[in-house]
Amino acid sequence: MFTELSAHARDLRDRLVAFMDEHIYPNERELLAPPPEPEKWAPRPLALALMEKARSAGLWNLFYNHGPEGQGLSNYEYSQLCEVLGRSLAAPEIFNCNAPDVGNMEILAAYGTPEQKEAWLRPLLAGEIRSCFAMTEPRVASSDATNIETSILRDGDDYVINGRKWWATGAPSQRCKVAIVMGKSEPEAAKHKQQSMILVPMDAPGLKVERALSVYGYEHAPLGHAEMVFDNVRVPAANMLLGEGRGFEIAQGRLGPGRIHHCMRFIGLAERALEIMCARARNRVAFGSSLAEMGGVRQLIGQSRCDIEQARLVTLKAAWMMDKVGNKAARSEIAVAKIVVPTLAGIVIDRAIQVHGGAGLSQDFFLAEAFAETRFLRIGDGPDEVHREALARNELSRQH
């Protein structure tokens, strides 16, 4: 089923590994450290400088295959590069491969008008701005997107948006200039035709980023996650994406690739966690022997290798299926990866934390923040329970 990487993809991967060694790991602590309060949400000069280096090196928009701005990689090829850049939480932004911009660029490439692409896709591909995706709401169970209450109602040549969103990743950033907002435009339509998506500039009157949200205490500045309020926000009708009532269609097109990209990155995090678990086990002595000589620790290491290989294989299969039959037909494989990978990566990282003892809980290693990130995705992009339910329905229909 799986194939060798093309020469182009192998070259990119080799250069990406070298760039990570030279520029990302040595600067990781500075890139991930919380900025001082006055500049918390401002772009970091070091990150901007490294972004320019990555772009100059041709390691830019690695995910993008819709035009010359990207590298033309398949999902299967990108998955193996994404594993490399996923080894550091600081890396995706440097290569312009960070969520939610990747998903938003995919939306604009697939569904945007020429005018929308010029206004928003072009600067996103160039790394000049950032964006956010406003779908989840605090007042309803947003795992069922038909619950969404934010209204997007036509008023002459405009749409007026009212509602409250949260977990809008990227919204606190000073570089965030546009939000893709999902809400109800046709309350009386069929259940999955009521929702629409619309482009809302972040400086639109009535839009307020009310507060930043933390994940296990990490605010992830200067990107972050936010709760947002839309109070009679008025935007031109030309900002509607694809057309009224097409929001679910867009969401399904966006979330599949986004989910698999997260899984690709988490395999890299888990691999790195296993590497430093082994290093710690070899170098740490307790009760007269190294941790690596203790059977319990060796069991953790051996099982971690099994878990990572399972996670990698289900992810590669999903990426391969997306290339062969399309995102919609590969939805079961994507769901399997979305369930399996964050859980297994989190388990491996948790074991690495345990082997590191108190150090694993501290800011001296990447493990604590990595654990928070993987735990977050068992809820983000749809909780595990929703994906299991969808898989069960599919299995029952197949076995009927």
Backbone angles phi and psi of 16, in degrees to 5: -65, -45
Q: How confident is the model at residue 296 (pLDDT cuts 50, 70, 90)?
A: very high
What are 154's strand-pairing partners?
Answer: 159
Of 354, 314, 356, the closest CA to residue 338 belongs to: 314
pLDDT tens sequence across 113-133:
999 999 999 999 999 999 999
Q: What is the mean pLDDT of residues 177-188?
A: 96
Count other C-beta atoms under 10 Å from residue 124's C-beta.
24
Q: What is the mean pLDDT of residues 163-176?
A: 98
Instruction: Give me the mean pLDDT over the 262-279 stretch.
Output: 97
Tell whether the model's pLDDT for residue 1 goes beyond 70: no
Give the mean model confidence (pLDDT) for residues 279-295.
96
Query: How large is the average pLDDT for residues 91-111?
Result: 96
pLDDT in tens, 328-368: 899 999 999 999 999 999 999 999 999 999 999 999 999 99
Question: Tens digits of per-residue pLDDT, 6-18?
Answer: 999 999 999 999 9
Q: How many CB atoms lie within 10 A of CB 115?
A: 10
pLDDT value for 108: 97
Average pLDDT of the chain is 95
**Residue 2 confidence class, pLDDT cut points 50, 70, 90:** low
Q: How many CA atoms lie within 13 A of 129 on its CB side?
A: 18
Cα 101 from Cα 85, distance rounded (Å): 16
pLDDT band at 215 (very low <50, low <70, confident <90, very high): very high
Delineate the domains of the chain, giving CATH numbers in brackets: 7-98 (1.10.540.10), 130-241 (2.40.110.10), 248-398 (1.20.140.10)
- Report the pLDDT value the prediction gives residue 16, as an integer from 0 to 100: 98
